[in-house]
Structure 1
Amino acid sequence: MFLIRELESTEDIVSAFQVMKHLRTHLDEESYIAIVRQAQEKENYRLAAYYDHNGKIVAVVGFMPMITLYYGHYIWVCDLVTSPKERSKGYGEQLLSYVHDWAKANGYEKVALSSGLQREDAHRFYEEKMKYDKVSYVFLKNV
């Protein structure tokens, strides 16, 4: 039996760091907590974890509602990561399905995300397994 649960308390957020750090390697625990808390407060960021049958967090997803002229009202998946030893077991699929269900239940018709150019396995997962369309490139400039 598995469980997907939103993480709201600081203790829960901290417990997800051991998985999140595999994706967000530039963050230490303190900065991770501060950013999650600020994003929850200001951007309605939501963090959910997949717990295995032993009650251990093995995958995490962070997402938030957004509004743009391009997509209208939609959900942006900010973070999706599975612990390296637990990959290819369907946890990412379960978490994205959770986000899709959350989106539908809350009146959103679209879910979007970006993925690093080097993450070819993730791209296959999004396109082939989850049926996402590749619709754009994301550009970034540090200022």
Structure 2
Amino acid sequence: MIRELQTESEIRQAYQVMRHLRTNLSEDDYMKLVKEARELDGYRMMVLDHDGKIAVVAGFKPMITLYYGRFVWVCDLVTDPAIRSKGFGEALLKAVHQWAKDEGYERMALSSGLQRTEAHRFYEKKLNYERASYVFKHELI
């Protein structure tokens, strides 16, 4: 079952899977950031449930830029490590694609850490994403 998370309780339950991707975040920090991102940035979360548990979590937000036009940015996508490679991540990301199409967005985009070579193969081979750029960051603190 694929569903969009709405309540604080649902979002908190997703932390058990999200923590495998966002290892730097405590549960409290995760909850604060999700709340702020939802309120200020249109951040949304979907999950795929399997055997009564959250198996995959996707966080995404609609955006408009001059470079990409109207698109949906996938901020987070993580599958419970115990059940990877069963097609659950692909199914959830395709559901996010459908949500984007239904809402009138023209494309999808995401970034993936340089070290995540298996994830890169997944995006390119299974979902036909293409490498478009590097993402650069700069710390201000």
TM-score after normalising by structure 1: 0.97
Q: Is the 8 A contact 2:46 2:59 kept in 1?
A: yes
Question: Which amino acid counterpart does residue 36 of structure 2 have in structure 1?
Answer: Q
1:110-121 aligned within 5 A: 110-121=107-118
> What is the percent sequence identity of the aligned residues?
56
Shift of 1:71: 0.3
1:41 to 31, 39, 42: 39
Shift of 1:55: 1.4
Does 1:70 find its partner at 2:49?
no
Paired with 1:93 and 1:99, the residues of 2 have a C-alpha distance of 10
Does 1:101 find its partner at 2:98?
yes
- What is the SS of the residue equivalent to 1:93? helix
1:92 to 89, 92, 96: 89
Q: Deviations over 1:51-101 (max 9, x none)?
A: 01x210011000000011100110000000001111001111011101110
CA root-mean-square deviation: 0.5
Q: Deviations over 1:21-55 (max 9, x none)?
A: 00000000001011001111111100111101x21
| 2:19 corresponding residue in structure 1 | 21
| 1:125 corresponding residue in structure 2 | 122
Paired with 1:43 and 1:6, the residues of 2 have a C-alpha distance of 16
The alignment covers a number of residue pairs equal to: 140
Gaps of 5+ in 2: none
Shift of 1:131: 0.3
| 2:138 corresponding residue in structure 1 | 141
Gaps of 5+ in 1: none
Q: Deviations over 1:85-123 (max 9, x none)?
A: 110011110111011100100000100000000000000
Shift >6 Å, 4+ stretches: none
Paired with 1:10 and 1:126, the residues of 2 have a C-alpha distance of 30
